Structure 1
């Protein structure tokens, strides 16, 4: 089994081929390893951690909603969130007619803010409106969910980066450590062992609510 961790840049689709006329790039511009596919997806205008694997069982396990696992995102939003807005995100909001599951949401300030290079192209900037960084952790992966959730509470997302994925096995999350945008690495032997255990497990793990270090 081949499994890679990629820091997907902005403007890249989570697939290896493009439809004719697409304005985006694809994974083959960055990864030349054969027979690996994305386990899950990030929209082209989102960045960050993407797992690529040649193992269909692992791909299915990581994307099957019955085995929800925490995925954490840094979201740069327009405005400064209030305590009430953060609590709304934690409790869940209605998007596309359905209530989202409970989430974790916190405002990142000072040294807790992610240290990222400027995005190309840059985010929309309006001098009269401040921006803030949030960390949101979800156990579901509905279409453009983070963007829809922040918009629902009046905090439009300007930049979105997935920073870690929790395998729900009490070990540390998989994260972006050491990976610049467009860079990838093979999983370590210890990470591969954990993924093997994930595939062989027949139980549906209960999502953990405990805190994690940032990715």
Structure 2
């Protein structure tokens, strides 16, 4: 029962079913019987866990057992303390209110790979980086949160899920490793 850590590249679909003109997980992983434990939209990059164990997949992805996930987010503008405080508090996004989260301004991680294609650069408008840790994960939640506080997401990289982190398991986009399935329970 493998547990696969995979660094999903930008614009790769989080599914094995091919879609014409788009890369999917099948272009990177040929391990039979594995499925994603959680998803990342095509515009997001970073850590995914995949397994062939349905109970483990449920433990990782189900809302009652959500593993904490950290996202490194490059936002448009110089984010301020007021916006960070709003990100940390429950935030009304219209169709739901987020749970409290952790949000801190960070320097751009030195281990982070360049995105291909690169984000657009504007000399007259700065960008900043934020690490946001959630214990929930609704569709496009992080992007919606940063937009709601006035700092739209330019780049989003999931850096960790539970005990697993790209900082400690350095994988380039498209790379994967197998770890013991019981490592998630530690």
- With the length of structure 1 as denominator, give the TM-score of the two structures: 0.81
In the alignment, what sits opposite 1:162? 158
Counting only pairs closer than 5 Å after superposition, residues 170-181 of structure 1 correspond to structure 2 as 173-176=163-166, 177-181=169-173
**How many pairs are equivalent?**
184
In the alignment, what sits opposite 1:37? 35
Q: Distance in 1 between matches of 2:12 and 2:136?
A: 22
Q: Distance in 2 between matches of 1:67 and 1:133?
A: 28
Whether 1:185 and 2:184 are equivalent positions in the alignment is no
In the alignment, what sits opposite 1:204? none
Counting only pairs closer than 5 Å after superposition, residues 89-100 of structure 1 correspond to structure 2 as 89-100=87-98
For structure 2, which runs of at least 5 residues remain unmatched after alignment?
Answer: none
1:66-107 Cα offsets, whole Å, 9 max, x none, are 113210000000001111100000002111332100000000
- With the length of structure 2 as denominator, give the TM-score of the two structures: 0.93
Q: Relative to structure 1, is the Cα distance of residues 98 and 131 closer, same or farther in structure 2, using a 3 angstrom cutoff?
A: same
Once the two structures are TM-superposed, the CA of residue 114 in structure 1 deviates from its matched residue by: 4.4
Answer whether contact 2:106 2:129 (CA < 8 A) is retained.
Answer: yes
Once the two structures are TM-superposed, the CA of residue 124 in structure 1 deviates from its matched residue by: 2.1
Tell me the SS of whatever aligns to 1:115.
Answer: coil
Q: Distance in 1 between matches of 2:95 and 2:172?
A: 37
Q: Relative to structure 1, is the Cα distance of residues 117 and 193 closer, same or farther in structure 2, using a 3 angstrom cutoff?
A: closer
In the alignment, what sits opposite 2:183? 194
Tell me the SS of whatever aligns to 2:5.
Answer: strand
Once the two structures are TM-superposed, the CA of residue 130 in structure 1 deviates from its matched residue by: 0.4
